[in-house]
Amino acid sequence: MTETPPTDEHRPWWRDAVVYQVYPRSFASSGTRGGGAGIGDLPGITSRLPYLRDLGVDALWLTPFYTSPQHDHGYDVADYRDVERLFGTLDDADALVAGAHEHGLKVVVDLVPNHTSDEHAWFRAALAAGPGGPERARYLFREGRGQGGDEPPNNWQSVFGGPAWTRVDDGQWYLHLFDSTQPDLDWRNPEVGDMFEDVLRFWLDRGVDGFRVDVAHGLFKEESLRDQERVVPPPGPDSPPETSMVERTEVDEPMWDQPEVHEVYRRWHRVLADYPGDRMDVAEAWTRTPESMARYVRPDEMQQAFNFAWLLAPWSAEAFADVVTGTFAALAPVGASPTWVLSNHDVIRHPTRYGGGLVGLARARAATLAMLALPGSSYLYQGEELGLEQVDVAPEDRQDPSWFRTGEVGRDGCRVPIPWSGDAPPYGFGPGGEQPWIPQPADWAGLTVEAQTGDDGSTLELYRAALAARRALPTADAVEVSVEGDVLRLERDGLVVLVNCGTTDVPLPAGDDTRVVVASGQVTDTLPPDTAVWLRG
């Protein structure tokens, strides 16, 4: 039996929540804000809140909608306390938070503390002030190496490819672990921590329920900024930048997961505790092991950390079982509850990862159904409820900064705007007939929300049924995990979940009282390959 230790009577909302990730550029456009009809906006999201409530999720996580030149589509923040004009205004953000709360949905916003945009007032001041001043000390400016300082200060590579250093006109270099438009802050400078406490309070005062913390493992670098001794292999076409970071083994990482970072999360824990209503934060920390992930969710740090192990597991009963067992084992000593995720805006959509086509979709539906039965919190990414696949975006339409830095296909294929209705692009994404900022495929008419609604075999109706069934389950902290042949078996509080990862049908347990609660495909008295089922005995 794998379980997290019992908690107090009080059960915070996030412990069992299903959180739906909204990528604002690509969710829905009202056509009335700066981005026009081709770019999603905050009123567009607000208008779709009834859809999310009816889908059956508990919370939204909004990726960054703050003022930004959009080189990394919002993960390059120029003003943490205002809304990007493409998406709307602060009043629109307030209306979205209020509307979500009226629909019974919590709101988690993204916080980007590792780096700012190069258009942030601090970075502009740093450039204007020149070497040696306090303005530069908020970032990691250094002299170069070699003759004339022509070589970068160390050998670090950007996650998006190429050197992690860019030289400015006066000869100094600044560190950017991502794009050159995303200079890293120096968290050893107390001004930085103070600024982010203000930003947290700014959004908490506006009523948000939590924060997803971007690059939570990155804020501190080894103080010496020494060379990396074994360098991470560059990302390949099938491994988006941040997925490949997890696959690294035995690499030397002076830029990630330094012990000093935990003091930041202790401070934020105290800030969140100043507010009522179980405010929370969730770490995006691509650490190397479940044990290092668990350090981010010690009782006085963050409430949650994304558990990317489920997402990275291959289609195998053994692999899924190992992930579940390993996750609970790592979290038990710190008393944290698990999270699960299969897709997000940085990785290849899971039907495509599982092989694409009908098989990929069947496996994706089964993996989702299994995930939704696990104790803890699940994160869904917009469009997965429609069974969307990764789109092969034409080179001229690609916009991911990693594409510009490396020429490798980046993450655009999972960011294509959502199809809501109709037979042709923009499928109700925005008013008017224009293609959105990343063009939608011509063959999505059968995948729209409108087309799938009421179709019992559709992926959308499967998600609705599974989320409704999940709501009816008693909460659980424990799960029994086993593997028989190619079948994964999970049991929690009387609910049995079977996932057939093999290639032949397997018999379902017989018994007059056994009842199928929900299934990811057709089940009779057998469970076909690539299918999952929830059974109540």
> For 6-21, what is the HEC assignment?
CCCCCCCHHHCCEEEE
Which is nearer to ligand NOJ, 256 or 444 (by Cβ)? 256
Nearer to ligand NOJ, 158 or 368 (CB): 158
How far apart CA 154 and CA 140 sit, in angstroms, is 12
Q: Which of 16, 58, 284, 491 is catalytic?
A: 284
Collapsed DSSP state (helix, strand, coil) of residue 472 = helix
Check 186, 214, 242, 257 and give the catalytic one: 214
Tokens describing residue 378: 């699940």
CB of 291 to ligand NOJ, least distance (A): 22
Q: Measured from the CB of residue 242, what is the shortest distance to ligand NOJ in angstroms?
A: 6
Minimum distance of ligand NOJ from residue 402's CB (angstroms): 8
Q: Of 114 and 448, which CB lies nearer to ligand NOJ in the complex structure?
A: 114
What's the min distance (Å) between Cβ of 411 and ligand NOJ?
A: 7
Q: Between residues 75 and 315, which has the closer beta carbon with respect to ligand NOJ?
A: 75
Nearest residue to the partner ligand NOJ, using Cβ: 75
Q: How far is the CB of 347 from ligand NOJ (least distance, A)?
A: 9
Instruction: Let me know: does 61 contact 74? Beta carbons within 8 Å.
Output: no
Establish whether 214 is a catalytic residue: yes
Structural tokens at position 31: 């056509």
Nearer to ligand NOJ, 346 or 385 (CB): 346
The closest of 196, 81, 66 to 138, measured between CA atoms, is: 196
In the residue annotation, 284 being an active-site residue is answered as: yes
* Per-residue burial over 24-57, b = 16 or more CB atoms within 10 Å of its CB, e = otherwise: bbbbbbbbebebbbbbbbbbbbbebbebbeebbb
Which residues of this protein are in contact with ligand NOJ, per CB under 6 A? Answer: 72, 75, 112, 178, 214-215, 284, 345-346
Residue 210 and residue 14 in contact, taking contact as beta carbons nearer than 8 Å: yes
Q: Which residues contact 456 (CB under 8 A, 6 or more apart)?
A: none
In the complex, minimum distance from the CB of residue 510 to ligand NOJ, in angstroms, rounded to a whole number: 46
Which among 39, 22, 23 is positioned nearest to 85, based on CA atoms? 39
Q: Tell me the DSSP string of 315-378.
A: S-HHHHHHHHHHHHHHHGGGTPPPEEES--TTS--HHHHTTSHHHHHHHHHHHHHHHHHSSSEE
Tokens of 8: 């107090």
Nearer to ligand NOJ, 116 or 459 (CB): 116
Nearer to ligand NOJ, 268 or 427 (CB): 268
CA distance 375 to 336: 12
Q: Residues 248, 308: contact at Cβ < 8 Å? A: no
Minimum distance of ligand NOJ from residue 111's CB (angstroms): 11
Query: Distance between CA atoms of 104 and 6, rounded to whole angstroms?
Result: 27
**Among all residues, which ones are annotated catalytic?**
214, 284
